[in-house]
Amino acid sequence: MTNITGDQALVKRINTSIILDTIRQQAPVSRAKVSKLTGLNKATVSNLVQELCNNHLVQEIGPGQSSGGRKPQLLLFNGQAGYAVGVELRVKQMTAVLTDLEGRILAEDDTALEEHDVQTVTSLMVGMIHGLMRQAPPSPYGIIGIGIGVPGMVDEDGTVLFAPNLGWEMVPLQLQLENELGLPVTIDNEANAGAQGELRFGAGQDARHLLYISAGSGIGSGIIINGELYKGARGYAGESGHMSIEADGRECTCGNRGCWELYASEKSYDNKNGILPSKNTSELVHHAELGHQETIRHFEELGRYLGVGITNLVNGFNPQSVIIGGPLSDARPWIEETLQQVVAQRTLPYHRELMEIRFSELGSRSTMIGAAYSAISQFLGPVRVSMPTN
Amino acid sequence: MTNITGDQALVKRINTSIILDTIRQQAPVSRAKVSKLTGLNKATVSNLVQELCNNHLVQEIGPGQSSGGRKPQLLLFNGQAGYAVGVELRVKQMTAVLTDLEGRILAEDDTALEEHDVQTVTSLMVGMIHGLMRQAPPSPYGIIGIGIGVPGMVDEDGTVLFAPNLGWEMVPLQLQLENELGLPVTIDNEANAGAQGELRFGAGQDARHLLYISAGSGIGSGIIINGELYKGARGYAGESGHMSIEADGRECTCGNRGCWELYASEKSYDNKNGILPSKNTSELVHHAELGHQETIRHFEELGRYLGVGITNLVNGFNPQSVIIGGPLSDARPWIEETLQQVVAQRTLPYHRELMEIRFSELGSRSTMIGAAYSAISQFLGPVRVSMPTN
DNA sequence: ATAACTTAGTTTAACCAATAGACAAAGTAT
DNA sequence: ATACTTTGTCTATTGGTTAAACTAAGTTAT
- Report the percentage of chain A scoring pLDDT > 70: 97
pLDDT score at A390: 32
Contact state of B3 with A10 under an 8 Å Cβ cutoff: no
pLDDT digits (tens, 9 = 90+) for A28-62: 999 999 999 999 999 999 999 999 999 999 999 99
Contact state of A246 with B243 under an 8 Å Cβ cutoff: no
User: Does B170 contact chain A (CB < 8 Å)?
Assistant: no
Fold of A206-360: Nucleotidyltransferase; domain 5 (3.30.420)
Rounded Cα gap, residues B69 and B47, in angstroms: 22
With cut-offs at 50, 70 and 90, classify the pLDDT of residue A385.
low
| Three-state secondary structure readout of chain A | CCCCCCCHHHHHHHHHHHHHHHHHHHCCEEHHHHHHHHCCCHHHHHHHHHHHHHCCCEEEEEECCCCCCCCCEEEEECCCCCEEEEEEECCCEEEEEEEECCCCEEEEEEEECCCCCHHHHHHHHHHHHHHHHHCCCCCCCCEEEEEEEECCEECCCCCEEEECCCCEEEECHHHHHHHHHCCCEEEEEHHHHHHHHHHHHCCCCCCCCEEEEEECCCEEEEEEECCEECCCCCCCCCCHHHCECECCCCECCCCCECEHHHHHCHHHHHHHCCCCCCCCHHHHHHHHHCCCHHHHHHHHHHHHHHHHHHHHHHHHHCCCEEEEECHHHHHHHHHHHHHHHHHHHHCCHHHHCCCEEEECCCHHHHHHHHHHHHHHHHHHCCCEEECCCC
* DSSP for B86-147, written as a single string: EEEE-SSEEEEEEEETT--EEEEEEEE-----HHHHHHHHHHHHHHHHHTSPP-SS-EEEEE
**A62 CA, D29 C1': Å apart:** 29
Rounded Cα gap, residues B185 and B133, in angstroms: 14
**B43 CA, C21 C1': Å apart:** 11
CA distances from B87 to B160, B175, B182 (A): 15, 16, 17
Angle between helix B190-201 and helix B366-380 axes, rounded to 10 deg:
70
Q: Which of these, B293, B298, B290, B294, lies nearest to B335 by C-alpha position? A: B298
* DSSP for B16-44, written as a single string: HHHHHHHHHHH-SEEHHHHHHHH---HHH
Q: Of B233, B246, B320, which is closest to A247 when you measure between CB atoms?
A: B246
In the predicted model, is pLDDT for residue A388 greater than 50? Answer: no
Q: If you count residue pairs, one on A and one on B, with CB atoms under 8 Å apart, how many are there?
A: 262
Contact state of A315 with B386 under an 8 Å Cβ cutoff: no
Rounded Cα gap, residues A89 and A287, in angstroms: 27
- Report the percentage of chain B scoring pLDDT > 70: 97
Minimal CA separation from B348 to chain A, in Å:
6
With cut-offs at 50, 70 and 90, classify the pLDDT of residue A212.
very high
In the predicted model, is pLDDT for residue A352 greater than 90? Answer: no
- Chain B residues whose beta carbon lies within 8 Å of the beta carbon of residue A5: 14-15, 18, 38-40
- Could you tell me how many residues make up chain A? 390
Q: Tally Cβ neighbours within 10 Å of residue A52.
A: 20
Rounded Cα gap, residues A104 and A102, in angstroms: 6
Rounded Cα gap, residues B314 and B309, in angstroms: 9
Q: What is the DSSP letter of B348?
A: -
Q: A3 versus B238: which is more confidently predicted?
A: B238
Q: Of A37, A316, A382, which is closest to B239 when you measure between CB atoms?
A: A316
pLDDT score at A233: 82
CA distances from A382 to A96, A282, A320, B14, B305 (A): 25, 39, 22, 18, 42
Bin A352: left if φ > 0, else alpha if -120 < ψ < 50, else beta: alpha
**Nucleotide of closest approach to B30 (CA, C1'):** D7
Rounded Cα gap, residues A210 and B188, in angstroms: 22
What residue segments make up the domains of chain B, in order of their start? 9-77, 83-195+368-380, 205-360
CA distances from A258 to A283, A363, B243, B336 (A): 26, 28, 14, 22
| Residue B386 CA to its chain's centroid (Å) | 23
In the predicted model, is pLDDT for residue B273 greater than 90? Answer: no
Q: Which nucleotides of D are covered by protein (CB under 7 A)?
A: 4-11, 14-21, 24-28
Helix (H, G, I), strand (E, B) or coil at B192: helix
**Nucleotide of closest approach to A47 (CA, C1'):** C10
Bin A182: left if φ > 0, else alpha if -120 < ψ < 50, else beta: left
Q: Tally Cβ neighbours within 10 Å of residue B138.
A: 6
Q: Which nucleotides of C are covered by protein (CB under 7 A)?
A: 5-13, 16-22, 24-29
Rounded Cα gap, residues B364 and B354, in angstroms: 27
Which amino acid is it at B33?
Answer: K
Output A114-118 pairs: Cβ under 8 A, ≥24 positions apart. A116/A91, A116/A166, A116/A167, A116/A168, A118/A168, A118/A171
**A387 CA, C7 C1': Å apart:** 34
In the predicted model, is pLDDT for residue B72 greater than 80? Answer: yes
Contact state of B256 with A311 under an 8 Å Cβ cutoff: yes
Beta bridge partners of A220: A214
With CA atoms as reference, the chain A residue closest to B356 would be A233
A8-77 classified as CATH 3.30.360.10:
no
pLDDT digits (tens, 9 = 90+) for A116-151: 999 999 999 999 999 999 999 999 999 999 999 999
With cut-offs at 50, 70 and 90, classify the pLDDT of residue B354.
confident
Q: B98 versus B227: which is more confidently predicted?
A: B98
Give burial (CB, 10 Å; 0-12/13-18/19+) of A141. Answer: middle
pLDDT score at A234: 80
pLDDT digits (tens, 9 = 90+) for A221-256: 999 988 889 988 888 888 999 999 999 999 999 999
pLDDT digits (tens, 9 = 90+) for B363-377: 999 999 999 999 999
Query: Given this chain, do its domains A83-195+368-380 and A206-360 carry the same CATH topology?
Result: yes
Q: Choose which CATH entry (1.10.10.10, 3.40.1170.10, 2.40.10.340, 2.30.110.10) describes domain B9-77.
A: 1.10.10.10
Q: Which of these, A104, A179, A113, A353, lies nearest to B162 by C-alpha position? A: A353
- In B135-264, where does DSSP find H-type helix? 173-181, 190-201, 260-264
Output A120-127 pairs: Cβ under 8 A, ≥24 positions apart. A121/A89, A121/A94, A121/A166, A122/A173, A122/A176, A122/A177, A122/A180, A124/A94, A125/A87, A125/A89, A125/A94, A125/A96, A125/A177, A126/A177, A126/A180, A126/A181
Cα end-to-end span (Å), chain A: 21
User: Does A200 contact chain B (CB < 8 Å)?
Assistant: no
Which amino acid is it at A148?
Answer: I
With cut-offs at 50, 70 and 90, classify the pLDDT of residue A3.
low
Written out in words, the top-level CATH class of the domain with range B83-195+368-380 is alpha beta
Instruction: Kindly report which listed range (A160-169, A328-337, A346-355) carries the lowest average pLDDT score.
Output: A346-355
B70 Cβ nearer than 7 Å to chain D strand = yes
Beta bridge partners of B378: none
Query: Is beta strand B228-229 parallel, antiparallel or unpaired with respect to B219-225?
Result: antiparallel
Helix (H, G, I), strand (E, B) or coil at B78: coil
A71 Cβ nearer than 7 Å to chain C strand = yes
Minimal CA separation from A173 to chain B, in Å:
16
Which amino acid is it at B84?
Answer: A
B36 Cβ nearer than 7 Å to chain C strand = no
Fold of B205-360: Nucleotidyltransferase; domain 5 (3.30.420)
User: Does A288 contact chain B (CB < 8 Å)?
Assistant: no
Surface of B (312-371) touching A: CB under 8 A: 312-313, 315-320, 345-351, 353-355
pLDDT digits (tens, 9 = 90+) for A163-174: 988 999 999 999
What is the overall mean pLDDT for chain A?
93
Query: Is beta strand A321-325 parallel, antiparallel or unpaired with respect to A210-215?
Result: parallel
With CA atoms as reference, the chain A residue closest to B305 would be A247
